Each structure stands twice: as structure tokens, then as C-alpha cells.
Chains A and B, each alone.
Chain A
Amino acid sequence: GEDVEQSLFLSVREGDSSVINCTYTDSSSTYLYWYKQEPGAGLQLLTYIFSNMDMKQDQRLTVLLNKKDKHLSLRIADTQTGDSAIYFCAEGLGLTGGGNKLTFGTGTQLKVEL
């Protein structure tokens, strides 16, 4: 089966950049995603990248994809206390009939300190 791994914990100071890393194993993934989960809540899609792209920037978020190494990263610029949450990467495999089956990483707890 697929294994998607992330470091468990990251602590940064407010205003600094955060970089969350993810490694995946299935090279046939079509999309790769970053989700945010706040305590006791569902998942919020932050951004995604198509597998034939190397980089995607969306306001404070930058996603880098190294397909050769199966490595995905999420950079959050000017990290704020409201960014404190668990961040999950996920790889998507296409389903017959449409849609993607998502396999989630282990999650990274981001703590932003003043």
C-alpha cells in the first residue's frame, strides 16, 4: 500500500516561514494536496498541485514538488498564530468514473509561538 510520511511536529516563531515536508511512495499519483485541520474540526483544503508541476504559489503558500524523489513541501510565509493546526499532505489516485482516492500523510502539528 501507499505510505505518506511527514514529520510529526514543527515549531516556528510568528512572522517566520514554516516549511512542512512530505514524502510519498506512489509515483502514479495525479494530484498532491495540502489540508489543514484545526482541533475537533474537519479538513480544509489549502492548496493542491498537479503531478506534472514543480511549483505552485498561492498567496502565502508555496508548494514544491520533486517527483523524482517523491517529495512534497508546503512553505507558509509570514506564519501567524492562526496557522497553528495540523497539516496533512495527501496523494490522489484517479478512480474509474472520476474523482480521486486520497491517501493521507501522518500529519504535522504546527505550533506558532509569539
Chain B
Amino acid sequence: GAVVSQHPSWVICKSGTSVKIECRSLDFQATTMFWYRQFPKQSLMLMATSNEGSKATYEQGVEKDKFLINHASLTLSTLTVTSAHPEDSSFYICSARAPGLSYEQYFGPGTRLTVT
């Protein structure tokens, strides 16, 4: 089946620094990828929809200058958390739209970000 990976699986960074998280579709091409964040014991909240070769579409309330998304190829999307603060600590999960199947998304294992 289709596999989506994320790297790193967990990261600790200091306040004020930037962190890049990668999302890769390993055995299929993904024209659309999605980025979610999940706070402890809470649901997933969609942050943005990323389309290959175009600008990401951000959900209301998500700062596009803080959460930079780049979908430069059909197998890679990156999320960069710029000038991270402790409140950005969260579990970030990406998903990729299944090729030819509009109703299904494959999810990555998630990245745990802790900002100290």
C-alpha cells in the first residue's frame, strides 16, 4: 500500500529557531498533501493544503509567514516552523492524497515538536 513518511519523528529546538519537517510519499506521486497539527488529547486541525508547484492554501487562523510550506516535487512537501515558540510545540502530521482515489488520504506517522 501507499506509504507516507515524515522526518524527523521528533525534534527539540530552542525558542526563536526554525525547524523544517519533511513529508514524503514513498511509492506514489502526491499532487496534494495536507498538514495537520494535533495538541495533546485533542483532534487534528488542518493547517494547510499543499499542491505541487503552487502556493499552499492556509486555513483561517494559521499564519502563513510562520508556517512555511513548500511542495516542490510530487513526492515531497516541507513544513518550516519559523521563529518557533513554546506554544508551537505540538504533533504535526502530514497526509498525501491517494493517486486516482479522491476520497482517500494516506497519513504520515507524525513529528513531535518540542520548543524549549
Contact = CB atoms under 8 A, between A and B. Distances in A.
Contacts of B67: none
B112 interface: yes
Contacts, number: 62
A94 B102 contact: yes
Q: What is the predominant secondary structure among interface residues of chain B facing chain A?
A: strand
Contact-residue bracket for chain B = 20 to 34
Contact of A98 (B45, B46, B93, B102): B102
A43 B107 contact: yes
Contact of A42 (B32, B102, B103, B108): B108
Contacts of B43: 88, 104-107
A98 B42 CA distance: 28
A102 B105 contact: yes
Q: What is the predominant secondary structure among interface residues of chain A facing chain B?
A: strand
A98 B32 contact: yes
Interface residues of A, number: 27
Contact of B32 (A43, A95, A104): A95
Contacts of A42: 4, 6, 93, 107-110
Interface of A: 1, 30-31, 35, 40-45, 48, 50, 88, 92, 94-95, 97-107
Interface of B: 4, 6, 31-32, 34, 42-46, 49, 51, 60, 93, 95, 97, 102-110, 112
